[in-house]
Each structure stands twice: as structure tokens, then as C-alpha cells.
Amino acid sequence: MSDENGKTQSPAPADPAQAGGAPEKKAAGAESRKQEEPAPAKPAATCASTQGQDGDVREPGFLKLLTWFLSNKRTGMVQFVKYGGVGAFCTLMNVVLTMWLSASVLMCIPPEDSHKELFFGMAIDLPHVSADFPKWVRITYFAINSTIGFLVSNIVCWLLDRIFVFRPGRHKTSRELAYFVAVSGVALGVGQAVQAALMYFAEASSWTSLGANILAALSINFAARKFFVFKG
């Protein structure tokens, strides 16, 4: 542009606010579009779980009930049922291990106890010693075999009790284990005394004597574990 004297004039500088207006509008438009974009959808709950009103994926009813049942915080009848289940499993382990040792390692099964009718028509025949086998040796061997079965099954029972039945924490773990072993030793002694008395004085069979041994030991163990070894 030229003025009246013919001099050329340079254009006036643009307003900084106006010069930067276009980029600012572009940035604002991009931001608004980003806000308007829908959020990614949450993955749908699988068939093994359910979804609550708050959107959280929850365990199905069966798994929730199973987790509740297996917790060692349960008391009363639920605790007693679980103790019975653990006790039955460990009792079976005790019987199988004791009779296997008596039939194969320190043999002491008399002929009259070698055949045992089980259930559903099944039966077992165990190797046995002769009829003139010394009675005191047979009782001693059977006591050793049943002691091994008792100790092994009780270690397994201690682990299962800590996880599923009783609440640990009344004592430190090392002291708890020491008390558990001590209580098991008392129960073992009482059970062995009952077993030996039945075999010697009452001429009871190996199966009957072992059953009385286990029943006496289980009763002592439950009371001591619930009220002395564990929290309850």
C-alpha cells in the first residue's frame, strides 16, 4: 500500500490473539471430540461367573458356598463335620498303613485275622504268621506298626486341620507343632493301652483292637486340638 507521497507502507502486524486463534480452536475441537468418544466396553462376564448390579464379577453360588465351607473359620456343626471328614480320611490312612506294615514288614497278622470281609461282597486276604507265633512278639510288632501308622496319619491330619478345620494362631507355629505332637503322644499312649488290653485280656481281634485304639485317640485329639492347640 502507498501513501500520498508515493511511499510504500508495510501491513500492520496481526493481533497475537487473532494469530493464535485458529490453533487454539483446533486444540479445543480435538479435546471435545476426545471427550465425546465412548469409553471401551468392559469384558462380559464368563459363564463361570456372575455380574452384580455394581458391575463387579462375582463367584457363582456353588464356588462361594464351597469356599465358605472349606474355610477354617467355621465353627459348630460345620467344623465337626469337617473334622469328621479329615478324621475319616486319616483313619483310613492309619488302618491301611498299619495293616500293610503288619502283613509285609513286621509280620504279625494271625491266621484268624488274615481274611477280612469288607463291603459290596469284597474281601481281602493278608499274609499271616503261623498259629504258634509268640503272642508277646505279635503284640509288640503290631504296636510298632500301629505307632508308625498313627504318627504318619497324624502329621497329615495336622496339616489338614490347620487349613480346613481349626484356626491356627493360639501359639507360634513351632510351639503349636510341639503341642500337637505332645497331644498326639498322649492319645497314642491311651490308644495303645486300650488296644493291648483288648488283645491280651479280651482276646479281641486285630481289627477290633485297632478300631478301639483309633476311637480313643480321635476323641482325645479333637478336644485337645480345639481347646488347647488351636484357636478353636
Span 182-202, average pLDDT: 90
Percent of the chain at pLDDT above 90?
A: 20
Span 101-114, average pLDDT: 89
> Between residues 48 and 32, which one has the greater pLDDT?
32
Domain limits of the chain? 74-229
pLDDT at 47: 45
pLDDT at 221: 82
Percent of the chain at pLDDT above 70?
A: 73
pLDDT range class, residue 71, cuts 50, 70, 90: confident
pLDDT range class, residue 54, cuts 50, 70, 90: very low
pLDDT at 100: 94
Span 63-73, average pLDDT: 77
Sign of the CA dihedral running 181, 185, 191, 195: positive
Q: Is the pLDDT of residue 116 over 50?
A: yes
Span 208-228, average pLDDT: 87
> Between residues 118 and 115, which one has the greater pLDDT?
115
pLDDT at 48: 47
Q: Tell me if 9 sits within 8 A of 3, measured CB to CB.
A: yes
* Whole-number Å distance between alpha carbons of 155 and 101: 18
Span 21-40, average pLDDT: 55
pLDDT at 13: 54
Tell me the average pLDDT of the chain. Answer: 77
pLDDT at 60: 63
> Between residues 226 and 55, which one has the greater pLDDT?
226
